[in-house]
Amino acid sequence: MESKAKRTLVKSRPELWEIASDVERMEAWIAGLVGAERPIPVEVTDSDAERILAWRSTDPLAYARIAIELTESGFGTAVRVTAQHTLPNPAAAIASLEGLLDELGAPERRPFTAA
């Protein structure tokens, strides 16, 4: 089954790429998509820096693939997320993808350092 979600986020492509390309986050997002309680190992299947990132589960019992496409859009970046999965409930998959978009769009807190 395939599920999709999209949103324009007020972050640059480099900022979003930094977040999305973090392997621990990719493992957590796949786990969320398949309803697992712990991260699931992944492998990157497609990568075009700051434009396209796709990865899939390496666990044969929890098949899932997520692809993120980033494009400039006015004052932000349009983010399109597509997932292939075996979930019988499409609403749960959409909710998982919306959570992924929420995490990408959340303000990043960076420690203050005096120069």
Asked whether residue 115 is domain-assigned, the answer is: no
- Residue range 1-12: mean pLDDT, rounded: 94
Residue 17's domain spans which residues? 2-105
pLDDT at 88: 79
Identify the H or E element spanning 102: helix 90-105
What is the Cα–Cα distance from 59 to 106, expressed in whole angstroms?
29
For the domain that residue 31 is a member of, what is the CATH number? 3.30.530.20
Q: How many domains are contained in the chain?
A: 1
Q: pLDDT digit string (tens) for 99-108?
A: 999 999 998 7
pLDDT at 113: 63
pLDDT at 110: 62
Asked whether residue 114 is domain-assigned, the answer is: no
pLDDT at 86: 86
Asked whether residue 88 is domain-assigned, the answer is: yes
**Is residue 21 over pLDDT 80?**
yes
Asked whether residue 111 is domain-assigned, the answer is: no
Asked whether residue 110 is domain-assigned, the answer is: no
pLDDT at 107: 86
Asked whether residue 16 is domain-assigned, the answer is: yes
Q: pLDDT digit string (tens) for 67-86?
A: 999 999 988 999 999 999 98
